[in-house]
Structure 1
Amino acid sequence: MEYPDPKRKSNMFGKLLMAAAVTALCIIMLKHSPSFSTPTHFSRHEKGVTHVLVTGGAGYIGSHAALRLLKESYRVTIVDNLSRGNIGAVKVLQDLFPEPGRLQFIYADLGDPDAVDKIFSENAFDAVIHFAAVAYVGESTTDPLKYYHNITSNTLMVLKSMAAHGVGTLIYSSTCATYGEPEKMPITEETPQVPINPYGKAKKMAEDMILDFSKNSDMAIMILRYFNVIGSDPEGRLGEAPRPELREQGRISGACFDAARGIIPGIKVKGTDYKTHDGTCIRDYIDVTDLVDAHVKALQHAKPQNVGIYNVGTGKGRSVKEFVEACKKATGVDIKVEYLPRRPGDYAEVFSDPTKIRRELNWTARFTDLQESLGIAWRWQKAHHNGYSSS
């Protein structure tokens, strides 16, 4: 009589167990691979539909741009780490465009190379509008490394992933801060770029990197250098809601509204001894609706193997004192003003010459009444006392 060998039985069981484990591991790996995943509207190209990645799309400008793109039937993916943006803005957009394949939100940091590569691997983008960036001049002078990392390094991550995954169009959101303090006004696209603060320097580095890359690439590239942004969605769906801890660094419009609402006792105007007609800085204030329109026109006119660089402004400068007076009229509040020494890294006068963008992209600023733009933004502020959390 033969008896079964217990060692042989044990070896057979071990082999079966190992085979089952390997099979299970393969299934898990396949399920996590883009090719095995159930295809979605966002993971495939679709004829007649342009899928745009909007980085920083939960922010002030990015959310307004996403709204405009969605209204014009683009497919939109927003990527944002919410360090400066608002999830409330994304929820507004999701409520407005709930249909499948219209809008998706991905929470991610563009400084994480694995996360960025995963986003590009799992989505079929046709174009990228790159807004994501920290953007306060004063903060950039006190924490410059944050700006070089967040702006220059993160743009490199986006550009590398675009190249690796064959995304053919980039609209880069740059700034007039790359020009520094030019000797002649108005600023044209040929004005020498001599930035005087880390924010402007980091943006110029990103521009230089994009331009160097473009020399051996078929990518369609548009660089928009825009000026001081104000206003909000005329229909009252979106607005500007900076985090409370960033109010001190924020835009003058935000400070005016906070003062008008009594959140702060008044506004602080930094610098009254500039060589301007009233001693305060002069800036070119561009309404966010016009700015978004410029981005859409840039996207529509982008051509392979071509780089377009454009100033986006009104062509007219307004002083800080003039701005404050317009804000007083728009809000109906006699805002208290405190005058202080200059802010580090600021410059006296900056306004654009928009001739090139008007000629080549058929774009011109339409919302140029300062008081009217501030009035529209003020209505949103009054209806959203705690930002998007009160909407």
Structure 2
Amino acid sequence: MGSLGSAMPTSGTSSPFFRRRSPRLSRTYNFGGVDCASMQPRLYFVGKVLLAVLFTAFCMSALRQTSSLAGPSKFATHERGVTHVLVTGGAGFIGSHAALRLLEDGHRVTILDNLSRGNMGAVEQLQALFPEPGRLQFVYGDLGDSKRVNEIFEQNAIDAVMHFAAIAYVSESMADPLRYYHNITFNTLTVLEAMKTHGVKKLIYSSTCATYGEPEKMPITENTPQVPINPYGKAKKMSEDLIKDFATTADLSVMILRYFNVIGSDPKGRLGEAPRPELRKHARISGACFDAAAGIIPGIQVRGQDYNTSDGTCIRDYIHVTDLVDAHVKALDKAEMGKVSIYNVGTGKGSSVKEFVEACRFATGVNVTVTMLDRRPGDYAEVYSDPSKIQRELNWSAQHLDLRESLADAWRWRKRHPDGYSVAMI
């Protein structure tokens, strides 16, 4: 899940769901020694049975009283004025920032993640920030396990789903396409089936500009033809199609957000993007820049310098993660029953890879070296958004437009957490 993402016993977490256990007697009674044919009065036998029944009734009453005093889990009960949001992939980079914003806005949040790409440290940070009962819970689970997903929906009173969970590297999708179709498309089907079974009517879906492929015209609007050129984009488009087809048969409120290249981190330094060493070969350019600035790798390898762009390198639309999360919150508030709405979420401005590297050098203060390599399979030359629809309909626009400042936010967190959430430097 973005870690569904990509979902375990944890210390300090609240119970992932409310369970009712049937009370069991702590002792048994043996009636085998009674000889009904003897002269012993039958009342003796009946008395023992009555005594056992009364004892059992007393124990059950005590258990019910204890349960009543503890009260039902807030996560298992709908509460007027409180929206309970299930955040799939909520331990990941984008999902954790979304959970932070939802909690700040007073929502109840359940994070579902299998931790394949997420980070428990992000969840623990959120739990430390919002320790009050009924605010945040973490549930370990994999969206590929339909039985587990249905259990979570059954045992929690969920009002809306923000579905972030997904693996999301273009090069990895080219090397292992079946994994991407399973992780993205099949898992989205599992979520939709659980929503249908349990009557959850609101969905905010995390999609991508990769569904457009390499359009002939820039900027990209929501009406730009979707012709994805890599399995990641194809799997996301298939998920969109599943959602739209299902929505025609159910009274759903759906927002599909197609966003562009996400950078930055919480400006207050509470959350960030933890590096995953095993994924460095698929790393996004921001992670590679920071690895080079930290001396972990000797420099940056830029794939492709012969594209039909101003400086020969790819052009992308880089959006700050807090701006992206703001779009999700506005989408949650504005979702209309029985309607599927689709929005591009970007700055409307493209920056080349060379411009990005210069911004990274400025933000880190390190003159990272660059090696130019051949193109990477599945990449496209130029992609940036036209965000006018989301500005017009949701009153949303990106606020962090300076690439250097956005990277500086991320670099500050990375310097304090060189090994991710496990260690913080003072």
TM over 0.5: yes
Match 2:419 to one of 379, 386, 390? 386
Q: Indicate the residue corresponding to 2:212 in structure 1.
A: 179
SS class of match (1:223): strand
Q: Indicate the residue corresponding to 1:283 in structure 2.
A: 316
Q: Indicate the residue corresponding to 1:43 in structure 2.
A: 76
Q: Indicate the residue corresponding to 2:279 in structure 1.
A: 246
Measure the CA separation in 2 of the matches of 1:382 and 1:72: 28
Identical-residue share of aligned pairs (%): 72
SS class of match (1:382): helix
For the 8 Å contact 2:122–2:271, the answer to whether it is kept is yes
Residues 358-383 of structure 1 show CA distances to partners (whole Å, capped at 9, x for unaligned) of 00000000001000000011000000
Aligned-pair CA distance for 1:242: 3.2
Measure the CA separation in 1 of the matches of 2:181 and 2:174: 11
For the 8 Å contact 1:84–1:242, the answer to whether it is kept is no
Q: Indicate the residue corresponding to 1:154 in structure 2.
A: 187
Q: Indicate the residue corresponding to 1:318 in structure 2.
A: 351
Q: Indicate the residue corresponding to 2:9 in structure 1.
A: none
Measure the CA separation in 2 of the matches of 1:90 and 1:242: 16
Q: Indicate the residue corresponding to 1:197 in structure 2.
A: 230
Q: Indicate the residue corresponding to 1:265 in structure 2.
A: 298
Q: Indicate the residue corresponding to 1:143 in structure 2.
A: 176
Runs of 4+, deviation exceeding 2 Å: 2-5
Measure the CA separation in 2 of the matches of 1:256 and 1:365: 23
Measure the CA separation in 2 of the matches of 1:39 and 1:356: 43
For the 8 Å contact 1:56–1:62, the answer to whether it is kept is yes
SS class of match (1:315): coil
Aligned-pair CA distance for 1:38: 6.2
Aligned-pair CA distance for 1:248: 1.5
Matched, 1:365 2:398: yes
For the 8 Å contact 2:317–2:384, the answer to whether it is kept is yes
SS class of match (1:146): helix
Aligned-pair CA distance for 1:39: 2.1
Q: Indicate the residue corresponding to 2:266 in structure 1.
A: 233
Measure the CA separation in 1 of the matches of 2:281 and 2:37: 82
Measure the CA separation in 1 of the matches of 2:374 and 2:317: 22
Aligned-pair CA distance for 1:275: 0.3
SS class of match (1:359): helix
Matched, 1:55 2:55: no
Q: Indicate the residue corresponding to 1:112 in structure 2.
A: 145
Q: Indicate the residue corresponding to 1:168 in structure 2.
A: 201
- Name structure 2 gaps, 5 residues minimum: 1-34, 39-48, 65-69
SS class of match (1:172): strand
Measure the CA separation in 1 of the matches of 2:177 and 2:275: 20
Measure the CA separation in 2 of the matches of 1:64 and 1:48: 23
Measure the CA separation in 2 of the matches of 1:4 and 1:192: 89
Q: Indicate the residue corresponding to 1:11 in structure 2.
A: none
Measure the CA separation in 1 of the matches of 2:264 and 2:37: 85
Code of the aligned partner of 2:224: T
Residues 79-111 of structure 1 show CA distances to partners (whole Å, capped at 9, x for unaligned) of 000000000000000000000000000010000
Code of the aligned partner of 1:318: S
Measure the CA separation in 2 of the matches of 1:44 and 1:180: 43
Measure the CA separation in 2 of the matches of 1:284 and 1:152: 25
Code of the aligned partner of 2:259: Y
For the 8 Å contact 2:96–2:123, the answer to whether it is kept is yes
Matched, 1:97 2:135: no
Code of the aligned partner of 1:366: Q
Matched, 1:64 2:88: no
Matched, 1:305 2:338: yes
Matched, 1:74 2:117: no
- Name structure 1 gaps, 5 residues minimum: 6-15, 32-36
Q: Indicate the residue corresponding to 2:328 in structure 1.
A: 295
Q: Report the TM-score, using the length of structure 1 for normalisation.
A: 0.91
SS class of match (2:361): helix
Code of the aligned partner of 2:133: P
Measure the CA separation in 2 of the matches of 1:195 and 1:163: 28
SS class of match (1:109): coil
Structure 1 window deviating more from structure 2 (238-247 vs 153-162): it is: 238-247
Code of the aligned partner of 1:242: P
SS class of match (2:232): helix
Code of the aligned partner of 2:145: D
The CA RMSD measured in Å over matched residues stands at 2.0
